[in-house]
Amino acid sequence: MWGGRFAGGPSAIMREINASIPFDKVLWRQDIAASKAHAAMLAAQGIVSADDAAAISSGLDAIAAEYAAHGVPENWDLEDIHMVTESRLAELIGAAAGRLHTARSRNDQVATDFKLWVREACLSADAALGGLQVALVTRAGEHAGSIMPGFTHLQTAQPVTLGHHLMAYYEMLGRDRSRFVDAHSRASQCPLGAAALAGTGFPIDRKATAQALGFAMPTRNSLDSVSDRDFALDYLTAAAQCALHLSRLAEELILWASQPFGFITLPDSLSTGSSIMPQKKNPDAAELVRGHSGRIIGALTSLMVTMKGLPLAYSKDMQDDKVPVFEAAGLLELCLAAMTGMIDGATFRTGRMRAAAELGYATATDLADWLVRAANVPFREAHHITGTAVKLAESRGCALDALTLDDLQAIDARIDNRVFAALSVESSVAARASYGGTAPEQVSARVAEARVALGLE
């Protein structure tokens, strides 16, 4: 490729550092599609003959069949998927292959191929997230009234329902889906035809190639077209945020599956054992989801650092854009599949959850709220009275509702027998009936809305 400018070939070191075919070969489908669209446009514009365009298209179809059947050959001397394909095309159809690169550069070619791939990755992530949302909503519907402790600071705070807890993650994933949809939308402009950096003198039709490849329109600035990797950063940003949410859920499953909690039994198919301790059942899939989040976040950081100081337009640094994106996409796909399997196959030990909700004085806030509602006590005073009651119960090693009326009236005479109806975990949960609250009726309503949104109803 460089014969006209260079007297000798690259050194072994240059050959190795320069070649991207080991990783960019995954773009072969996008490269074939973009090349076919470009050839068809060249023929329509009279830039190449119809016969040459037909030969190019037929040759590209033959190459696609070869790649699908046998994979892409890794010829490091040809550097990348674009030159490997063009070289093979020349072997198949001869000199007409040389016309394919008219009015384009590898700069706009790779930007187009990569953007096509990222757009597809956004749609794949959105679909996988939808599958995990279905799993969460299904299990939340089963457990709209199953009581468990709610935590702040990992300390028992107030009783909630398991369905409410699971639906919190449904909401998080909904925001993740919106980020991938937004990333896909922002990547709707086609770089093909920007050429190396300045556009081309040939009378090309960029709208035609954009439409043929499923883009909304061509990019509006040739310099930006070949130097932009915002679409990749958008994908990685969405992937990193999604990975954070998956990691939080994974951490909770890990805690819940531990013997001190005992809230959940994870499916055997997504757990492992110990090489020395036969009793162990380790939540390795959840731990790997938690661990992979770091690698996905690292992929975002890697590409951001690569791009942060690059002047316009294209620089070879940008060849390092693909590996972090490909790695993050593969990891995210695995994480979503694993998490969906864990939620689908988990056994929730609701009796253990309910028992835990009764510990830690989780209904203390309900006593304070009762004092406000029934005895017209200012909340700050009610808070102090409740704290005194908790201290007494703690000293006796009993629950709040195990204190007698005499005990409570000794703390504050305004307390009467009606208070005990508010101190059970069932009453506590049922009382949180504000919109978005944990009351079973509210959880069931949110589940019903989610099922409609997901197309399940």
3-state SS, one letter per residue, for 108-122: HHHHHHHHHHHHHHH
Per-residue pLDDT at 271: 81
Q: What is the pLDDT of residue 421?
A: 84
β-bridge partners, 159: 149
- Give the model confidence (pLDDT) of 149-163 as tens digits: 999 999 888 899 999
Residue 2 confidence (pLDDT) above 70:
no
- Residues 141 and 344: their CA atoms lie apart, in Å, by 13
pLDDT higher than threshold 60 for residue 3: no
Catalytic residue positions, numbered = 153, 274
Confidence of residue 19 (pLDDT cuts 50, 70, 90): confident
Enter the DSSP assignment of 4.
T
Write down the pLDDT at residue 15. 77
Q: Which among 446, 396, 371 is positioned nearest to 174, based on CA atoms?
A: 446
In the prediction, which pLDDT does 359 show?
82
Contact 228, 191 (CB under 8 A): yes
389-394 contacts, C-beta under 8 A, 24 or more apart? 389/364, 390/361, 390/364, 393/361, 394/361
Q: pLDDT at position 5, please?
A: 53
The confidence score (pLDDT) of residue 9 equals: 63
80 or 273, greater pLDDT: 80
| CA–CA distance, 228 with 295 (Å, rounded to integer) | 23
Most confident range, picked from 8-12, 112-116, 352-356, 401-405 = 112-116
> Which pLDDT score is estimated for 63?
98
Q: What is the pLDDT of residue 366?
A: 86
Percent of the chain residues past pLDDT 90, beyond the cut: 82
- pLDDT higher than 60, residue 6: no
The whole-angstrom separation of Cα 127 and Cα 121 is 10
pLDDT of residue 8: 59
pLDDT confidence of residue 14: 79
Q: Which residues contact 298 (CB under 8 A, 6 or more apart)?
A: 324
The string of DSSP letters for 44-64 reads HTTSS-HHHHHHHHHHHHHHH
**Span 325-342, mean pLDDT?**
98
Q: What is the pLDDT of residue 298?
A: 98
- Quote the mean pLDDT of the chain: 94
Q: Which range scores top for mean pLDDT: 171-180, 360-369, 375-384?
A: 171-180
What's the pLDDT band for 18 if we cut at 50, 70, 90?
confident
The pLDDT of residue 270 is 84
Q: What confidence score (pLDDT) does residue 212 get?
A: 98
CA distances to 20, 58, 81, 123, 314 from 78, rounded to whole Å, are: 9, 22, 8, 31, 20
Q: Span 71-94, mean pLDDT?
A: 95
* Owner of token pair 């107030």: 158
d(Cα 384, Cα 367) in Å, to the nearest integer?
A: 11
pLDDT of residue 7: 53
